[in-house]
Amino acid sequence: FDKAALSSDLPLPLYLQLARYLRGLIASGKFGHQDALPSERELAERLGVSRVTVRKALRELLDEGLLQQRQGAGTFVNRGPYVEQRLSTLTSFSDDMSSRGLSAGSLWLHRQVTIASPEETLALGLSPGATVSRMQRLRTANDTPMALELAVVPTRFVPDPSEVKGSLYDVLRRRGCTPFRALQRLTAIKLQAEQAEQLGVPEGAPALYIERRTMLEDGTPVEFVRSHYRGDAYDFVVELNLAG
Ligand code: 16G
């Protein structure tokens, strides 16, 4: 810890300076996921500030979900994996994670065959009354929740959702229905209580709501996916070219 990182000469209150400093230590990896933070008393001593200041700074980071308190055990970093996701290539969650050396997992929340909703019927270009496999999963990387995903696929591509054990795209590729092109929309949102709890972040934490409509090479829609990506776990990166 560096005492010089905090200064009472700055216009920012000390506890916010400390919160910013701790965020930096976590972002730079000096404190990793699940690392314990020193006690309030020790932090106060090592940083030359009052315990009240430390407590207020920790409260900020607890509210952001970057720290977690465990009864009797102390305060821990809740950083999780951090992923830079390219927006310009069509990849699956499993591929994205394994290419980063992370292990992709899924917690199944819901799977069934149903009649497509009007919105899904339109998105997938189906006839009214057509059936779809509806698959809702919590996607994890090294067991940390990253995204909530609801994938809807016409039953002609996935007749039975329990066929999907690991990667949905693997199942589709094996069938010769390779996802080829997708349209995606991203919207900034605040997570509601249930979604926040599933993702292991506080209610109201920021997330990206992503809608994806994926097509086969011949343009046939193959999936319609609505996902919530943790705002603190993802950076989305895209390459831009001069127009014209
Ligand atoms: C990604 C895709 C999702 C696709 C899933 C397949 C986004 C927004 N979503 O999460 O559309 O269904 O990958 O992953 O990128 P899987 O093959 O690992 O099941």
DSSP secondary structure string for all residues of 46-94: HHT--HHHHHHHHHHHHHHTSEEEETTTEEEE-----EEEESSS---HH
159 touches 83 (CB < 8 A): no
Percentage above 70 pLDDT, the chain: 100
The Å distance, Cα 96 to ligand 1 centre, comes to 9
Residue that wins the pLDDT comparison between 42 and 28: 42
Nearest atom in ligand 1 to the alpha carbon of residue 211 is 8
Degrees, nearest 5: CA angle 164-170-176: 110
Ligand 1 atom nearest to 210, measured from its CA: 8
Average pLDDT over residues 149-177: 97
Protein residue with least CA distance to atom 10, ligand 1? 93
| Reported confidence tier of residue 16, pLDDT bands at 50, 70, 90 | very high
* Single pTM value for the model: 0.79
Cα(179) to ligand 1 centroid in Å equals 10
User: How far, in Å, from the CA of 16 to the mean position of ligand 1?
Assistant: 38
At residue 14, does pLDDT exceed 90?
yes
pLDDT at position 206 is 92
Which has the minimum average pLDDT: 64-73, 111-120, 188-197, 209-218?
Answer: 64-73
Phi, psi of 5 (to 5 degrees): -70, -20
| 7-11, 14-18, 31-35, 131-135: least confident range | 31-35
**∠ Cα 45 48 52 (to 5°):** 80
Structure tokens belonging to residue 194: 């249930």
Query: Ligand 1: does its nearest atom lie under 6 Å from the Cβ of 152?
Result: no
SS3 category, 160: coil
Which atom of ligand 1 is closest in space to residue 227's alpha carbon? 8
Alpha carbons 152 and 114: distance in angstroms, whole number: 10
The Å distance, Cα 32 to ligand 1 centre, comes to 27
On the question of pLDDT at 63 being above 90, the answer is no
